[in-house]
């Protein structure tokens, strides 16, 4: 793995991004902030401008949030409820009467771009997100009446990171995972030229 230090060439919005597991339980996500974060998703690119994404938003303390917590995996039920919001992401898998889908092969990719925009916008506002897949997708589909031409895909925890003195309520395994250093493969491992598996020439010059 590459060193944990982030290259200085990265924008601070990316360099300082973390997949936070310990959130400030007192933080309330206001409607203006939430709208701004979701606007970032709205204006993300998509194939043919198909915009095949959807989001179900639960704010800590409301009924939607409580229902989301019920379908989380047991491990995610430990930490995710402390976030100010839990968001379930969806992508469209077929055309319906209200929304034609001409580029379905790229719908999940486009959802990923929208979520990446959410991540960066949240970071610009002093917030962090953690994406996760540990929940009962079938139960979520049923609970939130998701139609068959949409697929529940991932979850997002969104909120303000807790301070170092505010994590006493979390079990040790959560704190240990939350403090793991960030590491990534070097560019040479996945950027190719000539043929797959050959590190791009500009990386080795």
Report the alpha-carbon distance of residue 40 to residue 2 in Å, rounded.
30
Tokens of 71: 């379908």
Of 6, 35, 25, 17, the closest CA to residue 123 belongs to 17
Mean pLDDT of 67-95: 94
In the chain, where are the structural domains located? 39-163
- pLDDT, averaged across the chain: 90
102 pLDDT above the threshold of 80: no
Mean pLDDT of 8-14: 88
Q: What is the pLDDT of residues 171-198, one digit of tens each?
A: 888 887 887 888 888 999 999 999 999 9
pLDDT of residue 168: 63
pLDDT of residue 97: 63
Of 128, 119, 130, 120, the closest CA to residue 156 belongs to 130
Q: Do 188 and 204 contact (CB within 8 A), yes or no?
A: yes
105 pLDDT above the threshold of 90: no
pLDDT of residue 2: 47
Q: What is the CATH number of domain 39-163?
A: 3.40.109.10
pLDDT of residue 182: 80
- Please compute Rg for the chain using Cα positions: 19
Q: What is the pLDDT of residues 15-60, one digit of tens each?
A: 888 888 999 999 999 999 999 999 999 999 999 898 999 999 999 9
6 pLDDT above the threshold of 90: no
Q: What is the pLDDT of residues 119-150, one digit of tens each?
A: 999 999 999 999 999 999 999 999 999 999 99
């Amino acid at each position: 793995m590459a060193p944990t230090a982030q290259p200085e060439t990265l924008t601070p919005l990316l360099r300082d991004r973390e997949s936070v597991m310990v959130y400030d339980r007192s933080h309330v996500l206001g409607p203006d902030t939430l709208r701004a974060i979701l606007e970032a998703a709205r204006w993300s690119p998509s194939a043919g401008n198909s915009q095949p994404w959807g989001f179900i938003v639960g704010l800590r303390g409301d009924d939607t949030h409580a229902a989301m917590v019920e379908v989380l995996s047991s491990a995610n039920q430990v930490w995710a409820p402390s976030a100010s919001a839990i968001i379930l992401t969806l992508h469209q898998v077929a055309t319906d009467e209200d929304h034609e889908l001409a580029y379905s092969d790229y719908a999940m990719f486009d959802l990923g771009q929208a979520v990446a925009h959410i991540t960066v916008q949240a970071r610009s506002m002093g917030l962090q997100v953690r994406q996760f897949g540990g929940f009962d997708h079938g139960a979520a589909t049923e609970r939130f009446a998701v139609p068959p031409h949409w697929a529940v895909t991932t979850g997002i925890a969104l909120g303000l990171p807790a301070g170092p003195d505010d994590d006493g309520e979390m079990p040790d395994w959560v704190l240990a995972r939350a403090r793991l250093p960030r590491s990534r493969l070097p560019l040479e491992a996945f950027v190719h030229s000539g043929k797959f598996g050959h590190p791009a020439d500009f990386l080795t010059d």
